Amino acid sequence: MLNGNIVKIDCKSPEWSGLKGADWKLGELLDLLGDYTLNLKTDYFGSLVRSILGQQLSVKAAATIWNRTVALCGKISPETVLSLDAERLREAGLSKSKISYIKDLAQKVLDGEILFQEITGLPDQQVIENLTRVKGIGRWTAEMFLIFSLGRPDVFSPDDFGLRRGIKWLYGLDDLPGKVEVREMAENWKPFRTAASLYIWEAINRGLVDGGYKISAR
């Protein structure tokens, strides 16, 4: 349930009752984890830059490079990103390709090709189509933006490895499910696929998945 810049899911919310009614396994997970609150990332440009910098890196490595980039820029903005010499960004740990990606994003924002004021009012698919015009922003990055910056309620990313791993754990599957399989499974969670994703990620964050915790069987 979106309230300003906060997404809050509690036992009285439509998401909670809807997911419990649609999927008892997911319902058990909701009961186990309890209420959930997400503070949205409302610095849209900074959020996308951070997503680009973190691609194919560990959480720790991504945080280190982000902090070095912030230290260089002072404030992450299209102007500061474009003003920095590529060599200085390389010294901060950015690859040549990621430098080109964040500079392409910055230029498109300044040129008006990416208008965040307009994007916030577009349907999900149009947001994805707008953002993926930028080099280095694929569908997954755009979907994370929909969830963590815009707070859209019904987003599911079958490309997300963490979600697939969490689903394998939740349902006690022998093998990691494929993208088509998890997309079909997530159909049951409509129109609350964002809430389902957040709880599965939270199970990973709390160590339930790697710790071997099992959702009780009926």
Q: What's the domain range around 32? A: 2-40+155-205
Is 99 among the domain residues?
yes
Asked if residue 139 and residue 195 are part of one domain, the reply reads no
Asked if residue 107 and residue 21 are part of one domain, the reply reads no
Asked if residue 120 and residue 56 are part of one domain, the reply reads yes
Whether residue 26 has pLDDT greater than 90: yes
State the pLDDT confidence band at 33, using cuts at 50, 70 and 90: very high
At 78 the pLDDT is 95
CATH number at 31 reads 1.10.1670.40
Asked about 160 being catalytic, the answer comes back as yes
CATH number at 107 reads 1.10.340.30
Whether residue 1 has pLDDT greater than 80: no
- What is the identity of the amino acid at 93? G
pTM value > 0.95: no
What string of H, E and C letters represents the secondary structure of 158-213? CCCHHHHHHHHHHCCCCCCCCHHHHHHHHHHHCCCHHHHHHHHHHHHHCCCCCCCC
Is 132 among the domain residues?
yes
**42-68 confidence digits (pLDDT tens):** 999 999 999 999 887 778 888 999 999
Is 215 among the domain residues?
no
At 199 the pLDDT is 96
Catalytic residue (choose from 23, 104, 160, 174): 160
Asked if residue 99 and residue 11 are part of one domain, the reply reads no
Number of domains comprising the chain? 2
Separation between Cα atoms, residue 216 and residue 218, nearest integer Å: 7
Separation between Cα atoms, residue 119 and residue 115, nearest integer Å: 6
Asked if residue 80 and residue 15 are part of one domain, the reply reads no
